[in-house]
Structure 1
Amino acid sequence: MNYYNETEKVTYYEHIPTAIYGSASDASKEVAGEVADLIRKRNKSGKKTVLGLATGSTPTQVYGELIRLHNEEGLSFENVITFNLDEYYPMEPHSLQSYVRFMNEHLFDHIDIPEEQVHIPDGTLEEENINDYCREYEEKIRAAGGLDIQLLGIGRTGHIGFNEPGSRPDSRTRLITLDRITRKDAASDFFGEENVPRRAITMGVGTILDADRVILMAWGEGKAPIIREAVEGNIREQVPATYLQEHDNAEVILDDAAAEKLTRRKTPWLLTSCDWDDQLIRKAVVWLCQEVDKPVLKLTDEDYNEHGMGDLLTQYGPAYDINLKVFNELQHTITGWPGGKPNADDTNRPERAQPFPKRALVFSPHPDDDVISMGGTLIRLVEHGHEVHVAYQTSGNIAVFDDDVVRFVDFVSDYNDMFDMEQEEADQMLAEIKQFLDEKAPTQVDTDEIKHIKGLIRKGEAKAAGRYCGIPEDQLHFLDMPFYETGRVKKKPLSQEDIDIVRELIREVRPHQIYVAGDLSDPHGTHRVCLKAIFSALEECGDDDWTGDCKVWMYRGAWQEWDINEIEMAVPISPQELMKKRRAIFKHQSQKDRPLFPGADEREFWQRSEDRNRGTAQLYDKLGFAEYEAIEGFVEYKDV
């Protein structure tokens, strides 16, 4: 939504050109289009195109679009020379985490680029040879004519390539030591932080700045804080991405979520006059309350004028009128009846009174997202008599420790011994499993049998949590979407088969409510893929007669909460209900104490969830509303 007039004032605080797109997909197509246009132009004149390439989840859609252009529009890469930013050290090229493997899988294996024109830092070198190798890498870039376009992502530390905080602007390709935060963020790819290499070979900041054109991309709300530092902050060694502000042809490309902390998105009224609508007014008033530490109904004309909101006051004032409008809107988001209150006036309620009871379908990307993210609401829906279904979209099997498998294998073995069962074949399989795990390398993919056992562990935990919440077992659906079943953090692309599975369940249930994980901060990307599958399935169901009577509510998970001005349904949770939610989360024992992939937050999932829910309740309290123990927030998806 365009909240403001696009003028130079809007980008006043930005020190580098920044473009914002509605989605990562749209942004990636634009970047790929620019790269393709340059390649075509150079091909026509018989010249080489020299590209600096990045790895990680950020550029994958760019590479996918380049592959499509090659296959469908004949884009040739025969005259393209590539230099990758970095590689872990040490690292074998065939390893699962190797950037050689990454680039082959995501790009090179699918286009016509000659092998000798591909350059990726060598993670197999003897350490005494690395300095000479790095100098040669720089010389090869210069011999190729320099980088025409350098693609970049950005790390949570503000690193570009593996240039960690403290990197100098004149640094060149070299061996560096990885920051602890970078290693923690990479832990999921290596099945544990302890397996992440401590060093890497990376192009230097100076090498990157020598490129004719630099494009830094970022997607998702998880990148929003560091993007604000990189774009609006001062140039400093502690955030190496800020060095791009000195480049005369650098640009930052963002999706809406990654741009949400920029001043022009967070507080556009501080920059220019705004096209005020209900959503922006609410956002501005909530911000103002937090700035002056007042509840909504105590804001004054002076508060508005002194904080850049005189324009709003002029159009919709006095302050009393604006305050009352926003107070009523926020008040109407709060409901103890997430499925709708029967025999009640639902004019100002977020959910309809009828039909009652409703059929609710909760989609949980992983086997525990339902109780972590909306466990209190889930329990409330069941207690109110609604027919609640939960669909676990993936098995979650990669997030189970090997020790848990051994524990279950021992249980089965001891059980067989106790009852003298004749299961020689089963015993042999169990012995083979234990042997494999004893000899398993830290980053090795599990066998199909072990993946199946880990999936069963998580399935059993989900069933236990569902039973505790009062959901009948035949209303728990384990979809095991095929895109996930690789045994690795990197998944297969979403396929029509995945969408078909989701669509058929939706049509079977014919829900009045659908709850989906609407967050993009999940560091592993599973939430994004699962959400896309649901939206694609709903689009295919668009002509079904039941869709007109179905609302889609988006929750957020362990990684981040909705801003209070975004929340459209706020479900209060009592202390007793919060404890019940905690116990439901505890049913997921394999994720307790220390989850295999905790992300950047070291708290357990139940702690993150409770802190988030309590924090939302405290914000409502500070805005002048009733004081609750905790609140779960939802936003309605209106394109169904």
Structure 2
Amino acid sequence: MADLQTRPRIPGYPTAEESRKFEKIDTHIHDNSQEASFYVANEIAELIRQRQKQGKNVVLGLATGSTPTKMYDFLVKFHKEEGLSFKNVITFNLDEYYPMEPDSIHSYVRFMNEHLFDHIDIKKSNVHIPDGTLDKEDVREFCEAYEKKIKEAGGIDIQVLGIGRTGHVGFNEPGSSINSKTRMVRLDRVTRLDAASDFFGLENVPSKAITMGVGTIMSAKRIVLMAWGEGKSDIIRQAVEGEIRESVPATFLQHHNNCDFILDHAAASSLTRLSTPWLVSECEWDDNLIKKATIWLSHKLDKAILKLTNEDYNEYGMGNLVAEIGSAEDINLRVFNQLQSTITGWPGGKPNADDSRRPERKDPYPKRSLVFSPHPDDDVISMGGTLLRLVDQGHDVHVAYQTSGNIAVFDDEVIRFLDFATDIQEQNETLKKQFREVREFLSSKTPGQVDSPEIQRFKGLIRKGEALAACRYCGVKEANAHFQNLPFYETGTVKKKPHSEEDIQITYDLLQKIKPHQIFAAGDLSDPHGTHRVCLQVIYAALDRLVKEEADWISDCYVWLYRGAWQEWDIADMEMAIPIGPKDMERKKNAIFKHQSQKDSAMFPGNDEREFWQRAEQRNKETARKYNALGLAEYEAMEGFVRYHFQ
């Protein structure tokens, strides 16, 4: 087990040792998932090398899903570039859907082959994955044999885990016993909903799976659980700090004497030592932490900020802050003024006004505003009110649709549009032939099957037409709508390619063409398949290049990050908040409605079953409610932004 004293301290926050007041599992927090994945891969590689010198095998328990993929990439890299051999490695995978053919795109057999086994020198006889093709009556016997093979191999040396939103490890859903062994299980609806986008619809997700049991996992000599992103932060807090209970199977890991959670900052963000460090130990206070603590205290006591007292601060571990600043009144006023200055009805800056306390500068006016939209509807979903305000206030607004969004269009939509097109051009034999071929393909298409290039093109055109309709409604010139169709996205499958130089160059060229005074980009990184994350990485890479080249316009450009469809910024982090009145909220919803292929039922709803306009409305209204509860003006709704500062 790692020595707590050797872990680096996050400046201004409690040490890992101090955090033991709340944390019941050792946690390593890394800057990002890349560094964290390297950390785990390196530990595995070191054990493999050590055992090779001893002439012994290593037994690994492996997981699937998006979480361990970077770790597998590093292991493959170690093999190809550093000569790491896997000939002494025996693997046992956690689980597999049932029923499931091994060559299915959803199969964990295929997943492991694509991400690891096909790229290393592991013996095929040393690879073990639950069999999803078994007859039901043979499953019990297979599971007993699986357990026996693990024991005969000497037990699992390192078990790698991810964690589900219900707190499941493997497919051990809430209610699983700590002594459970490998078995068939029925999947929780939340688990199936989270997998729905991979299977192109909830109805296609298997209702059962074969999984190692909690008891099997707990028998491993070492356990490493990895988690990335804010979407996992709440369940990580429950697993690390909560009571042990069957309703959250990951809490059983508190009983293990050699278990570490490897997290990025986002996944760790709800842990007490990061979310409310003043409850753990005395803090090194800076402006951001003071703001965060005061907002938290206001919410905790249901008091407006200006009503907080010295006693309130003392009672909740912030006595040293009062002593440092002087009084509650001084703290309250400082934070209240900071929050007040984030609110503006002028997202492009207010001309001919004092802008010293405004988030955006007044000059130049009008501005060239460039909104990056990862999918063709993120612009209006996440910042539709701000977009409308920018247009209304006379700015030259451009929208860059980074991907085609074609995989998020239902097959029926293609048929509907082709029906219309063939009715218009009945004599066009080429179109009629195309229509017959498309209809034939779609009639026999299986869930998850890759569309033909022609169908992908049609689906992309459907989304392009919807985006143009939304632009027209919002007053954005059609010539200012830029459809980038970044190549990383164009696979026809849920799984995307890593971004490349071509993606960066397309974005760089657009930035150089427009030379914007302000950029809006999606910082909403919890979308189900990471498209937002990749799109933001591409923008950052292009901007970094422009900064290094000292482009003549880049030093006078502000970059604002928005959220909306999947999550919202914390009030303490918002640096610009745009009020939305009732009329503009209706206009925003009408703009979202232009995306008819996403209306009523989206292809990839994630873990929120509501329509996108419902999510956006609720989040915008909730932001306004929170500002109001802090003692600021009451608005119908608000959109929040965080400013990105160039390195």
Instruction: Using structure 1 for the length normalisation, give the TM-score.
Output: 0.98
Give the corresponding residue for 1:321: 330
Q: 4+ residue stretches of structure 1 with deviation over 4 A? A: none
Q: In the alignment, which of 604, 610, 622 is matched to residue 603 of structure 1?
A: 610
Instruction: Give runs of aligned pairs for residues 413-428 of structure 1, distance below 5 A.
Output: 413-417=422-426, 421=427, 423-428=428-433
CA contact (8 A) 1:297 1:327 kept: yes
Mapped pair 1:23 → 2:32:
yes
Alignment counterpart, residue 94 of structure 2, candidates 66, 85, 97 = 85
Deviations 1:221-257 (A, max 9, x none): 1111111110001111110000110000001111111
Please tell me whether the aligned partners of residues 528 and 604 of structure 2 are also in contact (alpha carbons under 8 angstroms): no
The residue aligned with 1:255 is: 264
CA distance in 2, matches of 1:26, 1:470: 44
Q: Report if aligned partners of 1:11, 1:264 keep a CA contact under 8 Å in 2.
A: no
Q: Which residue of 1 aligns with 2:51?
A: 42
Contact 2:184-2:211 at 8 Å conserved across structures: yes
Q: Does 1:466 align with 2:475?
A: no
Distance 1:286 1:498 in 2: 40
Cα distance, 1:8 vs structure 2: 2.3
**Letter paired with 2:395:** H
Mapped contact 1:88–1:199 kept (Cα < 8 A): yes
> Shift of the alpha carbon at 1:399?
0.9
Selected match of 1:559 from 540, 554, 566: 566
Q: Among residues 619, 626, 633, which one is paired with 1:626 in the alignment? A: 633
Code of the residue aligned with 1:306 in structure 2: it is: E
**Correspondence for 1:568 among 568, 575, 594:** 575
Distance of 2:118 and 2:486 partners within structure 1: 25
Aligned counterparts of 1:152 and 1:263: Cα–Cα separation in 2 = 23
Distance 1:280 1:29 in 2: 30
Deviations 1:459-495 (A, max 9, x none): 1000110111111111111111111112211111222
Name the CA shift for 1:134/1:398 in 2 (closer, same or farther; >3 Å): same
| Equivalent AA in structure 2 for residue 473 of structure 1 | E
Q: Secondary structure at the match of 1:579?
A: helix
CA–CA distance in structure 2, aligned partners of residues 389 and 43 of structure 1: 58
Quick one: distance in 1 between partners of 2:115 and 2:518?
Answer: 37
Contact persistence 2:448–2:493 (CA under 8 A):
no
1:74 to 78, 83, 88: 83
Looking at structure 1, the residues matched to 417 and 46 of structure 2 have their Cα atoms a distance apart, in angstroms, of 56
> What is residue 127 of structure 1 aligned with on the other side?
136
The aligned residue for residue 524 of structure 1 is 529
Q: Do 1:21 and 1:256's aligned partners in 2 also have CA atoms closer than 8 Å?
A: yes
Unpaired runs of 5+ residues, structure 1, are none
Equivalenced residues, count = 636
Question: Which one of 350, 359, 362 corresponds to residue 341 of structure 1?
Answer: 350
Would you say the 8 A contact 1:614–1:631 is kept in 2?
A: yes
State which of 466, 476, 483 in structure 1 corresponds to 2:481: 476
Task: Check the 8 A contact 1:357/1:385 in 2, yes or no.
Answer: yes
**1:11-63 alpha-carbon deviations (Å, 9 max, x no partner):** 31111001111111111111111111111111222221111111111111111
- Kept in 1: contact 2:199–2:448 (CA 8 A): yes
**Which residue identity is paired with 2:564?**
G
Alpha-carbon contact 1:195-1:443 (below 8 Å) kept: no
2:538 partner SS: helix
Confirm whether residue 488 of structure 1 aligns to residue 498 of structure 2.
no
Partner of 2:419: 410
Looking at structure 2, the residues matched to 385 and 11 of structure 1 have their Cα atoms a distance apart, in angstroms, of 55
Q: How big is the shift at 1:215? A: 0.6
* 2:484 partner amino acid: L
Q: Output one character per residue of 1:511-565: Cα deviation in whole Å (capped at 9) or x when no partner.
A: 1111111122112211111111111121122222322111111111211111101
Query: What is the letter of the counterpart of residue 548 of structure 1?
Result: S
Q: Secondary structure at the match of 2:533?
A: helix
Q: 1:190 aligns to what SS in structure 2? A: coil
Q: Identify the residue that residue 619 of structure 2 maps to in structure 1.
A: 612
- 2:246 is paired with a residue whose SS is coil
Aligned residue type for 1:593: D
Structure 2 contact 376–464 (Cα < 8 Å) conserved:
yes
Indicate the residue corresponding to 1:139 in structure 2.
148
Deviations 1:200-219 (A, max 9, x none): 01111111111111011111
> What is aligned with 2:5?
none
Give 1:348 shift. Answer: 0.9
Q: How does 1:583-594 map to 2 (within 5 A)?
A: 583-594=590-601
1:612-635 deviations in Å (ceiling 9; x for gaps): 001000111111111111100000
User: What is the CA–CA distance in structure 2 between the aligned matches of 1:626 and 1:2, rounded to whole Å?
Assistant: 34
Q: Does 1:451 align with 2:438?
A: no
Whether the 8 Å contact between 1:10 and 1:264 is mirrored in structure 2 is yes
**In 2: Cα distance, 1:398 partner to 1:150 partner:** 34
Any conservation in 1 of the 2:24–2:240 contact (CA below 8 Å)? yes
RMSD: 1.1
Q: Could you say which residue in structure 1 is the equivalent of 2:6?
A: none
Aligned residue for 1:541, secondary structure, equals: helix
Alignment of 1:164-175 (within 5 A): 164-175=173-184
Q: What's 2:231 paired with?
A: 222
Residue matched to 1:546:
553
| Larger CA deviation: 541-550 vs 597-606 | 541-550
Which letter does structure 1 place at the counterpart of 2:440? Q
Paired residues of 2:524 and 2:565 also in contact (CA < 8 A): no
- Work out the CA distance in 1 between the residues paired with 2:114 and 2:534: 18
User: Following the alignment from structure 1 to structure 2, what is the Cα–Cα distance between the partners of residues 545 and 107?
Assistant: 45
Amino acid at match of 1:612: R
Which of residues 199, 202, 205 in structure 1 aligns to 2:208? Answer: 199
- Asked if residue 636 in structure 1 is aligned to residue 643 in structure 2, the reply is yes
What displacement does 1:424 show? 1.8
Contact 2:375–2:403 at 8 Å: present in 1 too?
Answer: yes
Note if 1:177 corresponds to 2:186. Answer: yes
- Matched AA of 2:552: D
Between 236-245 and 408-417, the greater mean CA deviation after superposition: 408-417
CA offset digits 1:596-621 (Å, max 9, x no partner): 11111121100110110010001111
Matches of 2:125 and 2:518, distance apart in 1: 55
1:441 equivalenced with 2:446 (yes/no): yes
The alignment-based identity, stated in percent, is 64
Shift of 1:7: 5.5
**SS of residue in 1 equivalent to 2:267:** coil
Take 2:544 and 2:51, find their aligned partners in 1: how far apart are those partners?
Answer: 41
CA distance in 1, matches of 2:91, 2:406: 36
Q: Matches of 2:130 and 2:79 in 1, distance apart?
A: 25
Partners in 1 of 2:316 and 2:576 — Cα distance? 28
Length-normalised TM-score, structure 2 = 0.97
**Secondary structure at the counterpart of residue 388 of structure 1:** strand
Q: Which residue of 1 aligns with 2:4?
A: none
Displacement, 1:9?
2.2
Q: Is residue 2:519 matched to residue 1:510?
A: no
Partner of 1:390: 399
Aligned pair partner of 1:210 in 203, 215, 219: 219
Q: Please, which runs of 5 or more residues in structure 2 have no aligned partner?
A: 1-9
Deviation at 1:5, TM superposition (A): 3.8
Partner of 2:3: none
1:238 aligns with 2:247: yes
Matched-pair contact (CA < 8 Å) for 1:149–1:215: yes
3-state SS of 1:150 partner: strand
Contact 1:552 1:636 in 2 (8 A): yes
Residue 8 of structure 1 pairs with residue 17 of structure 2: yes
Q: Give 1:415 shift.
A: 1.0
> What displacement does 1:68 show?
1.6
